[in-house]
Amino acid sequence: MNIEKLKKIDEITKQRIEDKRLVSACYAICQNNEKIYENAFGYADIENKIPLGPDTEMRLASMTKPITGVALMKVVEEGRVSLDDKVSKYILSFKNMNVAIMDDKGKITGQYPCRNEIEVRDLLNQASGLGEGEAGNRAWKDYHIKDGDTLADIVPKFGDQLLDFEPRTNFIYSWTQAFDTAAYIVELVTGTEFEEYILKNILHPIGCYDTVYTPNEEQRSRLMKMYDARDGKITEIDMGGKIFGDVPLSYKAAGAGMIGTLNDYMKFAGMLYNEGEFNGARVLKPGTVKLMRTVSNVNLPDDFVEAWGLSMRVIGRRTETQLLPEGTFGWSGAYGTHFIIDPADKIYAVYMKNLLDGGGAGADTAREFERVIMEAL
């Protein structure tokens, strides 16, 4: 790896901050299990001039999903759940669901009984129909989740909503409903509240003590303020004490609700890179991680560029605009977090920013980060 070429990401980051298109960012890159590059620029709190750093708490948004995926795969590995199980085995309301009929403008015009029951695997590879289409978005708004509500209060209601498509015939991104269902299954089969389960069985064993749903006072003091960056202007956003959108802290949104630090997420990414083990602590078996990073969507063309494994995107091939090699996996968050694991080049890397308009998986900052790493090889 050419370290001098990696410095390009510093130049890009500083220029974005100067142009007020970015408030701050931090990132780290490992190759062959050695950290070869790390840096941070900008502020976690502009008003009080608190610099951003690798221990700054950041909203992970959808980078929560791979953590949920590991949790579900752990109970699968233990034989408590099968990926082929119907979700209704655990949550009866999922037994007789209906699929929305859409017109050519994407509006709901009717419904029909679902032919394929949702299976556990579908929850992680975006093939459940609990998506971000017209039906899924409308249903989510109708739940009116309030402070005090938990997964147990809300997830069974998902069985009454219309699906955006017949399970396993398509895949549409599910920002949290499918993953919340997965998390609730973990709660049911382990008898343990979801956050408690992932802390005890996944995060704490590998040394991640700052990745949580419910930050304590000290962690909240390190939480980056939320900002919006538009038209050359930085605006502070009041999140009202919440972590993601208007979701209350009592509801452990398994697709978007956690905070964490760069240091912590590098450990989590390192665990996946090392096939389920980090610093002597084994979280998953190698075969389980391999399954997670294997594309499992149906109806894909032979020349697909990227698709879904179990809770993460997986790269199918390089193109002029998608520079990562086949088999690279990882994901992003709506507020601008991003990580990749590239087994071919023995790399794992994490990029962290928090902006209300962070761009998610399509963020320019994510693509720039990937491009600089690939050009440095």
Structure-token pair, residue 265: 């997420």
Rounded distance, CA 94 to CA 88, Å? 5
Residue type (1 letter), 21: R
DSSP class of 212:
B
Give the pLDDT score at 132.
Answer: 86
346 conformational bin, left if phi > 0, alpha if psi -120 to 50, beta if neither: left
Give the pLDDT score at 302.
Answer: 87
Give the pLDDT score at 42.
Answer: 98
pTM attached to this predicted model = 0.97
DSSP class of 224:
P
Q: Give one DSSP letter per residue of 50-112, joined into a string.
A: EE--TTSBEE-GGGGHHHHHHHHHHHHHTTS--TTSBGGGT-GGGSS-EEEEE-TTS-EEEEE
CA distances from 211 to 57, 59, 99, 172, 353 (A): 8, 10, 36, 27, 16
Between CA 175 and CA 181, with CA 177 as vertex, the angle to 5 degrees is: 135
Structure-token pair, residue 37: 């590059």
Q: Are 324 and 330 in contact (CB under 8 A)?
A: no
Please give the backbone phi and psi of residue 35, each rounded to the nearest 5 degrees, phi first: -70, 120
Rounded distance, CA 82 to CA 121, Å? 8
Q: Are strands 329-332 and 338-342 parallel, antiparallel or unpaired?
A: antiparallel
Which tens digit of pLDDT belongs to each residue from 67-81? 999 999 999 999 999
Exposure class string for 229-254: b at 16+ Cβ within 10 A, else e:
beeeebeeeeeeeebbeebbbebbbb
CA atoms within 13 A on the CB side of 307: 19
What are the residue ranges spanned by the domains of the chain?
3-58+220-231+261-376
Annotation: CATH topology of 3-58+220-231+261-376: Beta-lactamase (3.40.710)
Which residues of the chain fall short of a pLDDT of 50? none
DSSP class of 285:
-
Structure-token pair, residue 20: 């007020």
Between CA 299 and CA 174, with CA 329 as vertex, the angle to 5 degrees is: 55
CA distances from 176 to 136, 144, 331, 357, 373 (A): 10, 15, 14, 18, 30
Beta strands per DSSP E along 114-254: 162-163, 226-230, 233-237
CA distances from 192 to 111, 119, 196, 232, 250 (A): 36, 22, 7, 47, 15
Q: Give one DSSP letter per residue of 239-303, joined into a string.
A: -TT-SSTT--TTS--TTT--EE-HHHHHHHHHHHHTTTEETTEE-S-HHHHHHHTS---SS--TT
